[in-house]
Structure 1
Amino acid sequence: MSDGEDSETVVRRERFAGGPARSFLSSMEFDDRLFEADLAVDRAHVVMLAEQDIIDTADAGAILDALDDVEHEGFEALPDGEDIHEAIETAVIERVGPEGGRMHTARSRNDEVAACLRYQYRAALLEAVDTVVAAREALCEVAEEHTETVMPGYTHLQPAQPTTVAHWALSYEAALARDTERLLDAFDRTNRSPLGSAAFAGTPFDVDRERTAELLGFESVLANSMDAVSARDFLVEGSAAFAGLATTLSGLAEDLVVFANKGFVELDDDYASTSSIMPQKKNPDTLELVRSTAGDAYGGLQGLLTTLKGLPRAYNRDLQNASPHAWRVADAVVEATDVAAGAVATAEWPAEDLEAAAGEGFSTATGVADLLAMHGIPFRTAHEVVATAAERGADYDALDSACEDVLGEGIDSLAEREAVEAALDPTASVASRDSAGGPAPEAVAETLAAALEGCEAHADAATARADSLAAAEEVLVEEVASYV
């Protein structure tokens, strides 16, 4: 290649190689994260071409050797170009000569790009699964430590019923477990190979699509070549899963911000900051940013969907602007997950203050109504009795007076005073709510055990997928070594 010749002139020669729109066409700004993916895709494709006698082994060896050099020198050493794929091809041709162009036999940038995106995006999904499982484990540790730590429970941000810190923590663990499932599902549909589809209409060469899929760790191939190169729904599914995860995190962050305001939780200094002017302040800044990450995720998903809307088959350059949305969403949400997990793991829960606040607003009213219903009073009538009592003081005497007015008899004719006093006590009220999934310590213990089993199962699922990818990478390395 002569001085000044770059990847554009190698791929397009003198046609469409310059002009004011050239920089506008470039995706190099976002392509550094595809460097390793493109090298892997190139290697698998070249090995397959040699195995199928589409190119000879000497050319394959020279190309693979050049790819090793490119990897060693790194992304920053690549020649200028329209995208990383052309830049790497140019770097190979610089080293091998014209025969290096055989690397692109029987493929297009369309299936090459699609394969690189899937290769890299599946790694992002597995990283997210690992991070979410770690967050769930942090919540389980909080639950295990605070199974009997009674705290206020709210609906509409109003005192509702007493619960426990463990019950609260496990409620978010359950939501994050479903987020994990969605990420794993997204991985499985991402992990399908488009390579060998060429531009969109296949190729006359005798390619082995299953072989390249195997070498790259893909579980299967996408059957229709037109669909294979144009489909970006895997990015939509993954981004939607990330957006759902961000929603869960936003709720968790909001709860912690509110709890910190009420003195119900003490955030570690590593997850808070002070005011630039008011030295007494301890602000939950990191959690406020976690909360706002949902907006970033929704915006990215909306941008991705809008970019894809109405695109005709098969490949259109609009797709170049689709993937940056997905990367930004993944990066932001994974980081927010890690921060939220750290904030939860290091927080302190003041048990005495929480217990003192747990009975505020007559939060045990439902428990008293339940007690009356257990003693034969229709629940709606019991509801009326307790509502009447709430206006008079929300204690035993108020309940007795309300029973006289509504039922014509005192409360002692319905239930023993000890049972009524227990129903009025937040700790005893929590202990009585032992239905499956409830806040009673025995019920929480069962939920916690199931949550820990779920964390282990999802961690194992992610590990199995990662091990499969690693095994394929080892096979690819061995195959490449046989040519170099």
Structure 2
Amino acid sequence: MYRSRPKGRMDDDMLAFLSSIPHDQSILYYDIVGSEAHSVMLHERGIISLEELKKILVSLEEAKKSPGLVDTEGAEDIHEALEAFVIKQAGMGAGGKMHTARSRNDQVVLDMRMKVRDDINGLCASIIALIDSLIKQASKNRDAVMPLYTHMQQGQLGTFSHVLLAYADALFRDLERLYQCFGRINQSPLGACAIGGTSIDIDRKRTAVLLGFDGLVRNSVDATTSRDTFVEYVASLSILSTTLARMAEDMIIWSTAEFGFVELDDRYSSTSSAMPQKKNPDPLELVRAKSAIMAGRLVSMLGITKALPSGYSRDLQDLKPQLLEASSAAISTVQVVEDVIDTLQVRKKRMLEVSKTSYAVSLDIAELLVAKGLPFRNAHKIVGALVAKAAAKEASLSAITIKDAAAVLKKVKPEKKLGAVELARIVKGMTPAKSIALRKSVGSPNPKEQDEMIKMARLKLAGYKAGVGKRTKFVQGSLTNLAKTVDKYIHS
């Protein structure tokens, strides 16, 4: 349909190579409502008549209700297919005017911005639900003492609540990135036309309002050329996917028989075709894989957009599958992780059992010695030597005797005098509960700190929930008003 200068049909292999139809179905709705807003504006500016507008809008509404009627065979993209459908239904006299003062260059980026803003709102709502699940689990597991790991070795004792809230804090940053990205996405490029605007007296602000945008991408070159907001969006998704992958990795490890800290619900586990005992964390393994795929899509988008000249180039078409598939994968991944966390079975007894025999209380013991006046480096060496003795016995630190303590003190010779009996008493008295209770620093696993962090997280979550709800309602309200406007003109 667009072939005015080139003669004849495009070669079939070339058409298949150029076509974006396989990736366009998810933006057909946005192409329809964008065309409705543009047509309404053209009529209101006196560029097309009421009768022409009616024919166009009736055809677009038919396409909206029955998308399968839009024949994509032979079309380069969904924009061409939809326009051809409208011309077929409304006639060239009316349908042929729908594209007045518009180009595919501003049209495609309009559709993508509307699609992405809806995905952002949906994704933000899903992240909010995931954070809510984490906070609920944290509230129920404040007393679940467990080892915390550095270098995959037991470092200090903490609580499962503390770990879950750490995930929540990371997800809040992911949520903030996406929340802020929405403002840069929700700017209308429509009316920029091919690259340099139009001589026809259109009203860009009117279409922006009809479609629920916050404002305009004012410069017509920027509107049709730039894709940095889409790259930023996928970059945010890539960072989000690394947060989810870390969570998945922890849950995979902690659900093994060797750890046994958690168990996945049967609904979110797979099994083996040969080994009947298996309960595999396949969904979480795919969460890890999605993170690598997401990073790959981001790198592809950066590679496509780098060093492009000003103005639309067909290279930009290949951003579409990267963007759409990254967005879809992120939405489904967040939902899977939320379901896993919401139904997670936490084995507190197993966590405590491991904590009781763990050397992860070593720093707590060293800090008690510091409180008695020993230099930290002396305390460090004393406790390290005690751990070595306990490890040689294949026992916990509670197995340390007065004789062991005396031997260590004789070897280390601390600056401040310390008796073997007192040292042995301090070591034996260090229980998991005492380890947690002794923490005083802000953000530690201490129960009071956990309560405060849970309280702060709930308040923060409520703010984001209200903001996302308001944005979603505004966009939906704008499109509802557009639908009413369309209906009014059709029946006028």
TM range (shorter): over 0.9
**Cα distance between partner residues in 2 of 1:73 and 1:22:** 25
In the alignment, which residue of structure 2 is the partner of 1:83? 77
Query: Residue deviations 1:239-272, cap 9 Å, x none?
Result: 0111001100110010011101111111111111
158, 164, 174: which is aligned to 1:163? Answer: 158
The aligned amino acid for 2:446 is: A
In the alignment, which residue of structure 2 is the partner of 1:57? 50
* 5+ long unaligned stretches in structure 2: 391-396
Change (3 A) 1:414 1:48: farther
Cα displacement (A) at 1:474: 2.0
**1:443 to 2:449 alignment:** yes
TM-score between the two structures when normalised by the length of structure 1: 0.94
Cα displacement (A) at 1:347: 1.4
Change (3 A) 1:460 1:339: same
266, 271, 294: which is aligned to 1:269? Answer: 266
Aligned positions of 1:340-379 closer than 5 A: 340-379=337-376
**Cα distance between partner residues in 2 of 1:13 and 1:60:** 28
In the alignment, which residue of structure 1 is the partner of 2:206? 211
**1:40 to 2:33 alignment:** yes
In the alignment, which residue of structure 2 is the partner of 1:308? 305
Query: Residue deviations 1:23-62, cap 9 Å, x none?
Result: 2111111110011100111011111111111222221122
In the alignment, which residue of structure 2 is the partner of 1:3? none
Q: Which moved more, 1:188-197 or 1:326-335?
A: 326-335
Query: Residue deviations 1:156-194, cap 9 Å, x none?
Result: 000111111100111101101100111111211111110
296, 299, 305: which is aligned to 1:299? Answer: 296
**Cα distance between partner residues in 2 of 1:136 and 1:64:** 43
The aligned amino acid for 1:234 is: T
133, 136, 146: which is aligned to 1:138? Answer: 133
Change (3 A) 1:40 1:416: same
**Cα distance between partner residues in 2 of 1:76 and 1:157:** 57
237, 242, 248: which is aligned to 1:242? Answer: 237
**Cα distance between partner residues in 1 of 2:448 and 2:185:** 41
In the alignment, which residue of structure 1 is the partner of 2:438? 432
**Cα distance between partner residues in 1 of 2:102 and 2:85:** 18
116, 123, 132: which is aligned to 1:128? Answer: 123
**SS at 1:367 equivalent:** helix
66, 69, 73: which is aligned to 2:62? Answer: 69
**SS at 2:279 equivalent:** coil
**Cα distance between partner residues in 1 of 2:406 and 2:126:** 53
In the alignment, which residue of structure 2 is the partner of 1:152? 147
**Cα distance between partner residues in 2 of 1:190 and 1:44:** 18
**Cα distance between partner residues in 1 of 2:419 and 2:460:** 47
**1:483 to 2:475 alignment:** no
**SS at 1:102 equivalent:** coil
Cα displacement (A) at 1:405: 3.5
Contact 2:405–2:424 (8 Å) recurs in 1: no
**Cα distance between partner residues in 2 of 1:275 and 1:69:** 48
Cα displacement (A) at 1:15: 3.6
In the alignment, which residue of structure 1 is the partner of 2:86? 92
The aligned amino acid for 1:19 is: D
Contact 2:70–2:81 (8 Å) recurs in 1: no
**Cα distance between partner residues in 1 of 2:286 and 2:37:** 41
Contact 2:405–2:423 (8 Å) recurs in 1: no
**Cα distance between partner residues in 1 of 2:212 and 2:405:** 68
**Cα distance between partner residues in 2 of 1:463 and 1:134:** 13
448, 456, 460: which is aligned to 2:462? Answer: 456
TM-score between the two structures when normalised by the length of structure 2: 0.92
**Cα distance between partner residues in 1 of 2:307 and 2:405:** 65
**Cα distance between partner residues in 1 of 2:312 and 2:261:** 54
**Cα distance between partner residues in 1 of 2:485 and 2:422:** 80
Cα displacement (A) at 1:470: 1.2
Contact 1:200–1:229 (8 Å) recurs in 2: yes
Cα displacement (A) at 1:434: 3.5
The aligned amino acid for 2:169 is: A
The aligned amino acid for 1:83 is: D
Contact 2:409–2:420 (8 Å) recurs in 1: no
**Cα distance between partner residues in 2 of 1:399 and 1:320:** 72
**Cα distance between partner residues in 2 of 1:152 and 1:399:** 25
Q: Which moved more, 1:391-400 or 1:440-449?
A: 391-400
**1:466 to 2:472 alignment:** yes
**Cα distance between partner residues in 2 of 1:68 and 1:282:** 49
The aligned amino acid for 2:294 is: A
Q: Percent identity?
A: 35
The aligned amino acid for 1:327 is: L
**Cα distance between partner residues in 1 of 2:69 and 2:5:** 24
Cα displacement (A) at 1:307: 1.5
**Cα distance between partner residues in 2 of 1:72 and 1:12:** 31
Change (3 A) 1:183 1:166: same
Change (3 A) 1:70 1:13: farther
Contact 2:238–2:291 (8 Å) recurs in 1: yes
Cα displacement (A) at 1:482: 2.5
